[in-house]
Amino acid sequence: MLDLLTFFGDIAGLPYCVVKMSPSFPQYKAGEDIDLFCYSVNDVAAKVVSWAKRYAAKGYGIKVSNVHKRQHVHVDLLLEGALNFRFDLYEAMPAYEKLMVKPALFESVLENAASAFFPMGEVQVEVKVPAPVDDLLIRYLEFAEWYDVRPDKIKHLDFIMERGDAQTRERMLQKLHHYTKLPPLFIPHECPFCRFTARLKKYLPG
């Protein structure tokens, strides 16, 4: 089991924010991941690799994948060839298709990050997490993007309904409406002439 809190101790001075944190953090199950927003993926990934080296002697492999133009990077810790844990690092908002999201939301989340503290022996380790409004907003974006293909994403909607109070949810919706927009709807062009020519094609040879 990786001691994730030691990693967060190592990056204490860096600007970052853990989004969609699992309720069981810092515990995790094999195959899970942690999503981090940061201003420099390269800096945070370098810290992950440096931190992970201590586990190399215990049989862990480290794999770095440049998913998208050095703005989205995976740093995977593998055990016996299988994914044990993934650091999912972002330097910009993930690419959503169901909603158009203003890029400035990324900086807003980072700048408004709050501190959560987790005990590690005698000390408390600080882990930066989104402000309550941003936490709900990001989970909502995730739910909206994936709900039709990933049934497990309902957990984010459950989180919003159970954890957020009415005022925070209201502020979340206001921020959502400011930073997002529905993508334009594509309606196929169908004028009478096009309909006529489409029908005509049925009777033409070839």
Q: Which residues bind another protein (CB under 8 A)?
A: 41-42, 45-46, 49-50, 52-53, 56-57, 61-66, 70, 73, 78
Shortest Cβ distance from residue 198 to another protein (Å)? 44
Residue with tokens 């480290």: 62
Q: Which of 99, 189, 195 is nearest to 144 (CA)?
A: 99
Non-local CB neighbours of 115 within 8 Å, separated by 6+ positions: 126, 127, 128, 129
Shortest Cβ distance from residue 65 to another protein (Å)? 5
How far apart CA 90 and CA 36 sit, in angstroms, is 6
How far apart CA 98 and CA 102 sit, in angstroms, is 13
Q: Which is nearer to another protein, 15 or 61 (CB)?
A: 61
Q: Which of 65, 60, 55 is nearest to 80 (CA)?
A: 60
Q: Which is nearer to another protein, 42 or 197 (CB)?
A: 42
Shortest Cβ distance from residue 10 to another protein (Å)? 12
Shortest Cβ distance from residue 87 to another protein (Å)? 11
Q: Which is nearer to another protein, 34 or 172 (CB)?
A: 34
Q: Which is nearer to another protein, 70 or 195 (CB)?
A: 70
